Amino acid sequence: MAGEDATMKDLDSQSQWLVERARQSLRENNPYEAKPWLITAKTLYPKDFGIQYEAYSIERNAERVQESAKLFYIMFEQFPESDILWNEVVSFTDALESDVMDRHGKFLTDMFGCLPQHAQREILLRAAGRCKDYIERCRMMLLLMRRFPDVIPKNGVALTEMLTDAENSEYPAAPVNPYRKLLVCDVLPHLLASENMSVKTSSAESCSGQDDEEHVSGISLAQVHKWLELSIQFYVSCATAQNFLSENFDAQQSIIDTSIVAEVLDGQGPWIALHKLFYLAAKKCGWMEICRIHDRLDSIKYRSTNDYWTSISDLHHKLKKISKHCSEEGTEEEVLEKTGLMFATIILFLQTVWEYCRVVNRLDVISSSGLVYPLVLVEDSVHVNIQLSGSASANTAANDSPAPKKKKRKLASGRSGSPTKDDGKGKQPSHIIIDKNCGTLSQNLSEDFAVSVEAWHLLNTYPGYKKDFLRLLDDWRVDQWNWMGTFKVDRLIYKGKYKKAVEFLQEQRNVLEQDASENQELLIRGAIQLSCCYFRLDNHKRACEEALYSMQFFVARSSAGDNMTLKRSTSVHQGKLDTSGNEPLSSASAGGRCLRLIQCSETEVLSFTVRLLLSSLKQRLVTEGRNDTLLGHVVVLVQFGWPREEDAFCELLDRIRDQGGLKYREFFSYVNNIDILEEFAHLYSDDSYNLDLVPHSTSGSSRAVTRGVNKGAKEDFRAAMERQVGRSDESFEPLLKAFLQNEKDSLLS
């Protein structure tokens, strides 16, 4: 044994000496001398891996493609288990997968291409088998299938099952993970585009035994449907990951792989990628009608969202019409087409609802101050003008004396109308107005929302879609997508389902109030929408309560960076700027209901609150008898946005004249509008009216303000009027906020 060991050591030293001589020749820049040394060594020691690898290294470093490939193939046959050899295989596969090819990468790719076809196939198969990591094994198998499509029937579906099983084991609750990414972004596009894969329909399953002979693998429709479901969930999760992370990053950072999201977003984008995959599935499943309208559904081509929806809706009605003339269950082709149409509708729904919620929740805005206001969809019924003079005139019909001539000519009366008291008026046409203060928004925002509502309605009402759609929502845990709650309540308001909206908003508030300091914006938005719903349900007291509730957050906040500038907002209606300065049309004049997107800032919430209070109090004035406190409150509120409510103020003056005066001792605490002060000064000069507007003196004495009874009242009124006229240049804002806070109980009583 000792002799044999010595002999082996002697052989090793001799072979090493030959290798060293070859290396020395290379160092001396004499490759032609090095090559004979290695040829000699290979001849003497054909089973020595070191000599074989040294010869290969010389050819590889010299970038001689043919010679390198030949030597590598010899080594692969003789030393298939060498770790050094498999390190070279890793270099090959990295070069083959690389999108950016440098000089060395091109050499490796060319060299691998010079290997015999069976050797290439064997190398990739064995490389995949050596991978202990699922991701690496998948990469190898994918590379194999790309270079050798004929292996797809045997390995394609097995690869998808391997990735799905690995995901279920390691990421059971995370749709964005490395396994799903490989499955959706890499494997499925390749399988669905392959001519070696076919879909087995029920009528063709009996012939599936021919697949092996034709080298075509048959996959079931259910398998393709499952792939589509996984793909939709993945791409939607990537598209909405910004919101998912920002809501609770610490809790979700282990669920969302941000690197995968970034890769998808930096590429062609989730929606375009999803559409391409869907189209591949449509061709594979034989959804001929979907393929026919493919161009109209293509996200890359410029078409409005409404055009997408029109194409889907037309196809839906076409299939329904065909079904009426066939059996109840429909033909196999019709069932296939309806399934494809369902998936197309789901994709359009999710895309449009996300685009809407992304903007409304302001997930598309980054503010340096950190102050970003969400948007809120409200009923525009608070803009309705109420005729006040009719009721007052009726109450004083017995008065034969004509009303005195007014100092100012009253303008033509405004639009009339009142909000409907019935729930569920969603069948009326609905128009959405976007306030200019919301910032620069997509011109298609209103269209996206309308389409998402219609798509939701189709998926939830048509029997052929509803069951599967609800199952998918449950599987995807859509109830945990917080941004979707915005769509739910906005959809209910848009469709006129006010009672259901109230129930949902009340449930939402119960949750949000558990951490009110962190959810102020959502509480404000919910309160505004609750006030709208109560207003439409004719519960005006609750409507006003909710509007005033929303204002209390701003009073408590008193943020120095949240300064309020009161001005009448300009609106964008159907994408066109309204420069007329007029309020948007009411539901009566526009031929349908009108909704408005406003910003949840103090300015807009205050504007909304005043308009709602005015509408509610005006309606009470129409139905009630004399109520001086109510009348005085309306006088205070009409100052907001002056002269928008000038017509209403003229009607209030008519009512005051009709009832012979007004007792409202809070008048000089909240009124500083010069036009209104001038009108009351003029009214006070007429002996026919009794005005009790001056508060009690601090001494406790009370002076009657009826003319001629107490001459001191005249001096008190004049002093108060002069004081308020002197404040007429001051902002009405502090007075208005003080009024809403101090007179809250009176406003609601």
Average pLDDT over residues 196-202: 79
Mean pLDDT value of segment 263-273: 89
Q: Domains in the chain: how many in total?
A: 3
* pLDDT beyond 60 at 490: yes
Whether 49 and 106 map to the same domain: the answer is: yes
Query: In a 3-state reduction of DSSP, which class is residue 677?
Result: helix
Q: Using an 8 Å Cβ cutoff, are 393 and 657 in contact?
A: no
Q: Same domain for 599 and 665?
A: no
**Higher pLDDT, residue 77 or 214:** 77
Range of the domain at 69: 11-130
Residue 500 maps to which CATH number?
1.25.40
Distance CA 610, CA 733 (A): 12
pLDDT, tens only, 537-584? 999 999 999 999 999 888 766 543 444 433 333 333 333 323 333 343
Strands 690-692 and 661-663: parallel
Which comes out higher in pLDDT, residue 102 or 384?
Answer: 102
Task: Tell me how long the chain is.
Answer: 749
Of 276-285, 381-390, 521-530, 531-540, the least confident? 381-390
Check whether residue 377 and residue 471 sit in a common domain: yes
Classify residue 274: in a domain, yes or no.
Answer: no
The H or E element containing residue 378 is strand 375-379
- Tens of pLDDT along 414-458? 333 444 444 544 455 567 888 777 767 766 888 899 999 999 999
Residues 34, 49 share a domain: yes
**pLDDT surpassing 70 at residue 633:** yes
Asked if residue 688 has pLDDT above 80, the reply is: yes
Instruction: Note whether 75 and 19 are same-domain residues.
Output: yes
Average per-residue pLDDT in the chain? 78
Nearest CA to 385 out of 584, 568, 680 is that of 584
Report whether pLDDT(703) > 80. Answer: no
Residue 243's pLDDT band, with cuts at 50, 70 and 90, is low
Position 77 confidence tier, pLDDT thresholds 50, 70, 90: confident
Q: Within this chain, do residues 366 and 512 fall inside the same structural domain, yes or no? A: yes
Structure confidence by residue, pLDDT tens digits, 348-380: 999 999 999 988 988 766 655 556 788 999 987
Q: How far apart are the first and last CA of the chain?
A: 112
**Are residue 607 and residue 655 in the same domain, yes or no?**
no
This prediction's pTM: 0.80
CB 159 within 8 A of CB 146: no
pLDDT for residue 15: 61
pLDDT of residue 197: 86
Q: Do the domain assignments include residue 234?
A: no
* Predicted local confidence at residue 426, as pLDDT: 45
pLDDT at 698: 39
Neighbours of 428 (CB within 10 A): 14
φ, ψ (nearest 5 deg) of residue 545: -60, -45
551 within domain boundaries? yes
Question: Other CB atoms closer than 10 Å to residue 515's CB: what's the count?
Answer: 9
On the question of pLDDT at 162 being above 80, the answer is yes
On whether residue 323 sits in a domain, the answer given is no
Query: Per residue in 4-31, pLDDT tens?
Result: 444 444 445 666 666 666 666 655 565 6
Would you say 301 and 293 are in contact if contact means Cβ atoms under 8 Å apart? Answer: no
Contact 493, 379 (CB under 8 A): yes
Task: Tell me the pLDDT band of 590, cut-offs 50, 70 and 90.
Answer: very low
In sequence order, which residues have a C-beta less than 8 Å from that of residue 167 and are 6 or more positions away?
A: 177, 179, 180, 183
Examine the domain organization and report whether 604 and 675 are in the same domain: no
Q: Which residue has the higher pLDDT, 390 or 745?
A: 745
Contacts of 226 (CB under 8 A, 6+ apart): none
Instruction: Give domain status of residue 65, yes or no.
Output: yes
CA distance 174 to 176: 5
State whether 607 and 685 are in the same domain.
no
Q: Are residues 505 and 478 in the same domain?
A: yes
Position 406 scores a pLDDT of 46
Are residue 617 and residue 633 in the same domain, yes or no?
A: no
Identify the three-state secondary structure at position 595: strand
Last residue of a domain, one of 576, 605, 623: 623
| Percent of all residues in the chain with a pLDDT value above 70, rounded to a whole number | 73
pLDDT digits (tens, 9 = 90+) for 123-151: 888 888 888 888 888 888 988 998 888 88
pLDDT confidence tier of residue 295, bands split at 50, 70 and 90: confident
More confident residue, 81 or 228: 228
In this structure, is residue 717 part of a structural domain? yes
pLDDT class for 327, splitting at 50, 70, 90?
low
Whether residue 678 lies inside any domain: the answer is yes
Indicate if the pLDDT at residue 201 is higher than 60: yes
Radius of gyration of the chain (CA): 39
> Is 59 a member of any domain?
yes
Lowest mean pLDDT across 51-60, 120-129, 345-354, 731-740: 51-60
Tokens 């669905």 map to which residue?
192
End position of a domain, from candidates 623, 643, 663:
623
- Same-domain status, 457 and 537: yes
Tokens 């291409």 found at: 113
Tell which of 607, 623, 639 closes a domain: 623
The pLDDT-based confidence of 667 (bands split at 50, 70, 90) is: very high
